[in-house]
Amino acid sequence: MARNKFDIDESLETPFNIRHFRRALVYIKRQKKPMIIAFVLSALSAGIALSAPLIMQHVVDVTIPAKNAQALIGWSLLMLATIVVSVILATIRSRMMTRVGQDIIFDIRSDLFKHLQELPFQYYDDRPQGKILIRVVNYVNSVSDVLSNGIINLILEILNLLFIAIFMFAVDVKLSFVILGGLPVFLGIILLIKTKQRRAWQAVSNKSSNLNAYTQESISGIRVTQIFNREAHNEGTFSRLSTNYRNAWMRTMYLNFLIPFSVDNLATIVTTSLYFVGLLALGPEEVTFGVILAMSSYAARFWQPILNISNLYNSFINAVAYLERIFETLDEPVTVNDAPNARELPPIKGKVTFEDVTFAYDPGLNILENLSFDVKAGESIALVGPTGAGKTTVVNLISRFYNITGGKIRIDGHDLSEIKLKSLRSQMGIMLQDSFIFSGTIMDNIRYGRLDATDEEVIAAAKTVCADDFIREFEKGYMTEVNERGSKLSQGQRQLISFARTLLANPRILILDEATSSIDAQTERLLQKGLNELLKGRTSFIIAHRLSTVKNCDKIMYVSDKGIAESGSHNELIMRRGRYYKLYSAQKMQA
């Protein structure tokens, strides 16, 4: 799919509408109390600050001509007090809103992460990890300030404009209309560029996502890069993506800077017009110098909130592009989930039945078609066959990591589509091909699937899979810290730890997907002894390319041609001299 490439821009499935921003208000409502307090503090700060021009007018027109030094000192102290109180209130408000902004970030990011935990494998199959990660981290950071300070500041700046207009008209009506004369021109500029701005910020979002996806992919594959001397080529790709991001950012900035540029020039023109009208057109008989001085101060104050609102508008346009991506992720359907009437799966024995199961990752391209088989409780089943035939798909469907396209899968007669996922997977032990190791201690990694396990149970599981010896060779033993993906461990060691993690869950159905592929032959023989004991009484599905490891399974299924081509015990399939026989003979000759 196009969206799964780092150099392809993502397209939004749904256009932005005001409903998205209303959804964002849910997070704002959770912080309603501190935001109201911050709003009141800001309003008081702004109101006190607006009294300064009136004080200045009175001093120029009355106090100074009267040569009243004592009154001048009093008015000066009052003006100083207004500045100090205004700054104190603004500081308190700023600290409160910093906390509110971080709380909003926490809430949005928590909702995103929780939803990502529930999304099916298909979602992650279709997208680079970097394009998912940037939504949880960067995009949430980008919208938090708009959803906290931005909302309050917008309301305050509008009220500020209203208060300034009231003060202006109280001082002089004619000069107030001169100041308001530039407003229609400014609104026209906003309407002219608003669509271009939104598209520009969407482009920035796309290029940022592409760059993040490639960076994440490059870091994950750095060993392969160095093995094949791809450093120079990768640097070129990174440079191209970085250039695309820079160009998109610069185009956006050109549009953004049009607004403050327009405000600055309009403010200059209005102020010049104010002096022209006040001093030349009306004359000193109608307008005193103190009035002109006060009105010029209000003119500067009037255009400052307009500039602030324009900046907030830019931030809003930016946030809109990111909110679209955030809500697109939150709206991604959890297709593999519990049905409305889903019930708990009782303790199972482990009988597995496939009834005419059909499955496709992509519509129209079936991997399995009308697959049917029965596995008795406690049987060990080996799935063999060519690469890409659907072996891993079969065990993924038993675990219900994907929804089947047609048919039914039953465990002990219970239809998987009618039972709760947690009750199903809690009774299964699954070891996939990717032996993922989390950052933390070896003990934590083994205990990952069963947090209530004791240290003794963890060690017992490690001994069963022959991991205990190499773990104890580390200086800190089971408390040894390992990095993400287990970079300090060999592939075989990572696989044994994953094996122990799976076995510790004590499952009724055990799935091993190439569980011994990275283990040496000697360790595998030792491991097999423990496995034989572990598999007793449990239903197990074992995928292995080395057929020597599955000879003793109760049944071997050869997966091919979108189904089971042949099935039986090892001896039965050898006697048939079919596909399994040919595969086994070929491996035996190579050995």
Whole-number Å distance between alpha carbons of 429 and 435? 14
Task: Name residues whose C-beta falls within 8 Å of residue 469's C-beta, 6 or more positions apart in sequence.
Answer: none
The widest CA-to-CA distance across the chain, in whole angstroms, is 121
Residue 374: predicted pLDDT? 94
The one-letter code for the residue type at 234 is N
Superfamily of 2-330 according to CATH: ABC transporter type 1, transmembrane domain (1.20.1560.10)
- Quote the pTM value: 0.67
Name the residue with tokens 């009175």.
58
Question: Nearest CA to 537 among 563, 566, 561, 506?
Answer: 506
Q: How far apart are CA 32 and CA 512, in angstroms?
A: 51
Are 305 and 161 within 8 A, CB to CB? yes
Q: Are 243 and 210 in contact (CB under 8 A)?
A: no
525 with 496: CB under 8 angstroms? no
Query: Can you give the pLDDT at residue 2?
Result: 39
Angle (CA) 477 519 498, round 5°: 55
Tell me what pLDDT residue 404 has.
93
The partner residues of 419 in beta bridges, in order of sequence, read 343
What are 227-252's pLDDT values in tens digits? 667 888 888 888 988 999 899 989 88
| pLDDT, position 487 | 65
Residue type, position 458, single letter: V
Contact status, residue 463 vs residue 469, Cβ threshold 8 Å: no
Determine the Cα–Cα distance for residues 415 and 411; give it in Å rounded to an integer.
7
pLDDT in tens, 158-175: 777 887 788 778 777 888
Helix 455-464 vs helix 491-504: angle between axes, to the nearest 10 degrees?
120
In three-state secondary structure terms, 122 is helix
User: What are the residue ranges spanned by the domains of the chain?
Assistant: 2-330
Distance between CA atoms of residues 168 and 155, nearest Å: 20
CB 46 within 8 A of CB 253: no
The upper half-sphere exposure of residue 175, i.e. CA atoms within 13 Å in the direction of its Cβ, equals 33
**Nearest-angstrom CA–CA distance, 509 and 427:** 7
Per-residue pLDDT, 75 = 84
- Confidence (pLDDT) at 377: 92
Written as tens digits, the pLDDT of the chain (591 aa) is 334 566 666 655 445 556 667 777 788 888 888 888 887 887 788 777 777 777 777 777 778 888 888 888 888 888 888 888 888 888 887 788 778 878 888 888 889 889 988 888 888 877 777 778 878 877 787 777 777 767 777 777 777 788 778 877 877 788 878 888 778 888 788 778 777 877 787 788 788 888 888 887 787 777 778 766 788 888 888 898 899 989 998 988 888 788 778 777 887 787 777 777 766 656 566 677 777 777 777 777 777 788 777 777 777 777 776 787 888 888 888 888 888 889 999 999 999 999 999 999 888 889 999 999 999 999 999 999 888 888 989 999 998 989 999 999 999 999 999 999 989 988 888 877 667 788 888 999 899 878 888 999 999 888 888 888 889 998 889 998 887 666 678 777 887 888 888 888 888 898 888 766 656 666 666 666 667 666 777 899 998 877 877 888 899 999 999 999 999 999 999 999 999 999 888 877 765
How far is C-alpha 136 from the geometric centre of its chain's CA atoms?
Answer: 2
- Which residues partner with 563 through β-bridges? 560
Q: Under a CB-based contact definition with an 8 Å cutoff, are residues 442 and 472 in contact?
A: no
H/E run at residue 425 = helix 421-425
Q: Are 441 and 388 in contact (CB under 8 A)?
A: no
- Distance CA(305)–CA(244), nearest Å, equals 34
Query: Which residue in this structure is represented by tokens 């520009």?
Result: 200
At residue 429, φ and ψ (nearest 5 deg) are: -115, 125
Helices (H) and strands (E) in the chain, counts: 22, 12
**Residues 528-539: pLDDT tens digits?**
666 766 677 789
